[in-house]
């Protein structure tokens, strides 16, 4: 059994850790509220934009568009969206595991590169031959340091440009979609080429178009793609704070249980020490009598 000093030291250490995890939980809860509000406001707009786009695409030959061209999949870009920081459970590991799975199985016969949005993905792939950031500025992985639509649209624009130039035959987004504070859903989406969702019927709303449908479609597709990237980043940010809040809540509870166990062990050890001292005194007294 460890001595009393060691147990006291552990109790102090665990209490300090519990204070940190509790503070991190409260910080994540505050950040989650803002991030959740942002993605909640974004989703209706993105859904309506996709609805209009589906209605237009249903009456046009979308395959003629530069972003809708179906090519043989030889060069694939996987955009891995992770967080900048850890301590959020399996949030980052789930994304990185899915990226590895795509590289080894689905696209094993293709030339695959990974674009890291988030420092955790960058730290893993920065020295890997899979890593690429050409054309995306010096530090695309720091996008979450200042997440704005302007910064997100810049990344989306470069993805569209590289696809239009034929550098990539397919662009995939891998990220965590925010469902609620406790649940994040791993999402794998085809960003390019643009493909109408399977099984989704075009809206029957009879729109009046000005100018013509073709010109509106050419304007809507790039905008929709930029919104798709921004929404994925907002989803990931909200999911990150939810995952960290949940992880820190569990860590705080576990620390509390550990403190209880350590205090019980400390009291038992203290009682044993006191009992031992009493026995020594009694034994000494008996020896003096003899």
Q: What is the CATH number of the domain that holds 153?
A: 3.40.1380.10
Q: Measured between alpha carbons, how far is 182 from 195 in angstroms, rounded to an integer?
A: 31
Residue whose tokens read 């959740």? 36
| Residue 11 belongs to some domain of the structure | no
Ranking 53-67, 179-193, 225-239, 252-266 by mean pLDDT, the lowest is 53-67
Mean pLDDT of 30-51: 89
| Residue 290 belongs to some domain of the structure | no
**Model pTM above 0.75:** yes
Tens-place pLDDT, residues 144-165 = 988 999 999 999 999 999 999 9
Tell me what the pLDDT averaged over the chain comes to: 87
pLDDT at 196: 64
| Residue 232 belongs to some domain of the structure | yes
Beta bridge partners of 172: 78, 190
Q: Where are the alpha helices (DSSP H) in 105-190?
A: 119-125, 149-164
Q: Judge whether residue 227 has pLDDT over 90.
A: yes
**Beta carbons of 69 and 193 less than 8 angstroms apart:** yes
Q: Judge whether residue 276 has pLDDT over 60.
A: yes
pLDDT at 197: 58
DSSP SS3 for 86: coil
User: In terms of Cα–Cα distance, which of 55, 93, 70, 97 is closest to 197?
Assistant: 55
- The boundaries of the domain holding residue 190 are 25-195+202-246
Peptide bond into 211 cis (omega under 30): yes
| Band (5; pLDDT cuts 50, 70, 90) | confident
Q: Measured between alpha carbons, how far is 3 from 242 in angstroms, rounded to an integer?
A: 40
Tens-place pLDDT, residues 49-83 = 877 776 665 555 545 568 878 889 999 999 999 99
Beta bridge partners of 186: 176
Q: Measured between alpha carbons, how far is 176 from 187 in angstroms, rounded to an integer?
A: 6
pLDDT at 24: 94
| Residue 66 belongs to some domain of the structure | yes
Tens-place pLDDT, residues 170-199 = 999 999 999 998 899 999 999 988 876 555
pLDDT at 55: 66
User: In terms of Cα–Cα distance, which of 290, 259, 275 is closest to 9?
Assistant: 259
pLDDT at 195: 74
| Residue 252 belongs to some domain of the structure | no
Q: Judge whether residue 124 has pLDDT over 90.
A: yes
| Residue 133 belongs to some domain of the structure | yes
pLDDT at 12: 93
Q: Measured between alpha carbons, how far is 32 from 26 in angstroms, rounded to an integer?
A: 10
| Residue 2 belongs to some domain of the structure | no
pLDDT at 64: 53
pLDDT at 88: 92
Q: What percent of the chain has pLDDT over 90?
A: 60
Q: Measured between alpha carbons, how far is 208 from 69 in angstroms, rounded to an integer?
A: 27
Q: Judge whether residue 203 has pLDDT over 70.
A: no
| Residue 268 belongs to some domain of the structure | no
Q: Measured between alpha carbons, how far is 84 from 144 in angstroms, rounded to an integer?
A: 7
Active-site positions? 88
The total number of structural domains that make up the chain: 1
């Amino acid at each position: 059994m460890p001595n009393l000093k060691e147990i006291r030291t552990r109790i102090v250490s665990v209490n300090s850790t519990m204070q940190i995890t509790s503070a991190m939980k409260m910080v994540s809860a505050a950040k989650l509220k803002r991030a959740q509000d942002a993605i909640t406001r974004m989703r209706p707009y993105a859904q309506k934009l996709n609805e209009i786009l589906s209605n237009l695409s249903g009456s046009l030959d979308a395959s003629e568009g530069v972003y809708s061209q179906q090519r043989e999949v030889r060069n694939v870009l996987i955009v891995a969206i992770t967080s900048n920081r850890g301590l959020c459970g399996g949030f980052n590991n789930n994304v990185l595991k899915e990226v590895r799975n795509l590289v080894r199985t689905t696209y094993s016969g293709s030339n695959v590169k990974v674009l890291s949005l988030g420092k955790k993905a960058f730290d893993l792939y920065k020295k890997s031959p899979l890593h690429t950031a050409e054309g995306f500025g010096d530090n695309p992985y720091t996008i979450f340091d200042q997440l704005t639509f302007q910064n997100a649209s810049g990344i989306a624009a470069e993805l569209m440009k590289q696809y239009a130039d034929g550098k990539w035959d397919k662009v995939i987004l891998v990220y965590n979609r925010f469902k609620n504070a406790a649940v994040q859903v791993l999402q794998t989406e085809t960003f390019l080429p643009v493909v109408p969702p399977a099984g989704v019927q075009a809206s029957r709303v009879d729109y009046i178009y000005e100018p013509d449908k073709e010109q509106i479609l050419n304007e809507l597709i790039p905008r929709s793609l930029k919104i798709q990237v921004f929404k994925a980043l907002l989803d990931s940010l909200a999911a990150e704070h939810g995952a960290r809040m949940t992880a820190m809540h569990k860590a705080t509870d576990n620390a509390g249980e550990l403190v209880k166990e350590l205090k019980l062990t400390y009291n038992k050890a203290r009682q044993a020490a006191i009992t031992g001292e009493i026995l020594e005194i009694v034994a000494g007294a008996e020896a003096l009598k003899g």
